């Protein structure tokens, strides 16, 4: 179902995982899946494949390419966490958003994509999905437990397309005060819908993750799917 493609930008080129639906199931719309701190791993590929099964073209760009191409880590070992956090610490958010914007442009040119392009991100990707709602032409965005969103809330007035947010109420990477500020700032926006998940830690929807919560993940994913099904 999936394949590797290359996307060119002014300062180089990077890989992306592209999953396409069966022709009879195709919706004509696409989703950019934005990685966590672990790169394009099996979780991100499976997420793309699942969206393709629902009829979307799904693409996940390698946002670590300037540091180290083809990173593929899990949350299962201390060594992988150490490397993932080092990559995250050196990551350039602005360049990452620019790469996602280039991915949005590239996927619009894929065969069968005739309608909208949405974005969905997790963890680091949750922040970047929020920023696609403020900085890019994405037609819809979904943010799962984004880290650092509270530092970018000054951009909120530029949100003009639908943004869905999933917030873990016991997120160890997003302090309670930060979560409260995010909700207070965004809850009255006509374009933003926020859902909180009691008892859930960070990454409650990470497939095979150590903090995976099946009921909450299913609920959040159902909302996400409905969000994108409404995209034109």
Active site positions, annotated: 171, 202
Question: Which residues does residue 197 pair with via DSSP β-bridges, in sequence order?
Answer: 168
CB atoms within 10 A of CB 185: 15
Measure the CA–CA gap between 89 and 86, rounded to whole angstroms.
5
Question: Residues in the chain, how many?
Answer: 232
How far apart are the two ends of the chain, measured CA to CA in Å?
24
List the Cα angle 91/66/44 in 5-degree steps: 70
Print pLDDT tens along the chain (232 aa): 699 999 999 999 999 999 999 988 899 999 999 999 999 999 999 999 999 999 999 999 999 999 999 999 999 999 999 999 999 999 999 999 999 999 999 999 999 999 999 999 999 999 999 999 999 999 999 999 999 999 999 999 999 999 999 999 999 999 999 999 999 999 999 999 999 999 999 999 999 889 999 999 999 999 999 999 999 8
Other C-beta atoms lying within 10 Å of the C-beta of residue 122: 30
- Tens of pLDDT, residue by residue over 85-142, are 999 999 999 999 999 999 999 999 999 999 999 999 999 999 999 999 999 999 999 9
Q: What does pTM read for this prediction?
A: 0.97
Integer Cα distance of 57 and 117 in angstroms: 9
Domains of the chain: 2-229 (3.40.50.1820)
Cα gap 139→43, rounded to integer Å: 24
């Amino acid at each position: 179902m999936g394949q590797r493609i290359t996307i060119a930008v002014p300062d180089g080129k990077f890989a992306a995982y592209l999953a396409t639906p069966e022709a009879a199931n195709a919706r004509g719309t696409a989703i950019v899946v934005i990685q966590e701190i672990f790169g394009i791993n099996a979780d991100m590929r499976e997420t793309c494949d699942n969206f393709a099964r629902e009829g979307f073209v799904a693409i996940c760009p390698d946002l670590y390419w300037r540091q180290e191409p083809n990173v593929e880590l899990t949350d299962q070992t201390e060594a992988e966490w150490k490397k993932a956090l080092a990559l995250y610490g050196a990551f350039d958010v602005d360049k990452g958003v620019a790469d996602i914007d280039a991915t949005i442009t590239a996927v619009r040119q894929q065969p069968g994509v005739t309608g909208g392009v949405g974005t969905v991100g997790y963890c680091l990707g949750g922040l970047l999905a929020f920023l696609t709602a403020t900085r890019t032409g994405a037609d819809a965005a979904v943010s799962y437990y984004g880290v650092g969103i509270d530092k970018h809330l000054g951009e909120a007035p530029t949100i003009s397309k639908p943004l869905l947010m999933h917030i873990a109420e016991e997120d160890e990477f997003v302090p309670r005060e930060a979560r409260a500020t995010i909700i207070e700032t965004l809850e009255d926006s006509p374009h933003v819908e926020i859902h909180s998940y009691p008892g859930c830690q960070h990454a409650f929807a990470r497939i095979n993750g150590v903090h995976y919560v099946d009921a909450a993940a299913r609920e959040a994913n159902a909302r996400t799917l409905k969000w994108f099904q409404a995209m034109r």
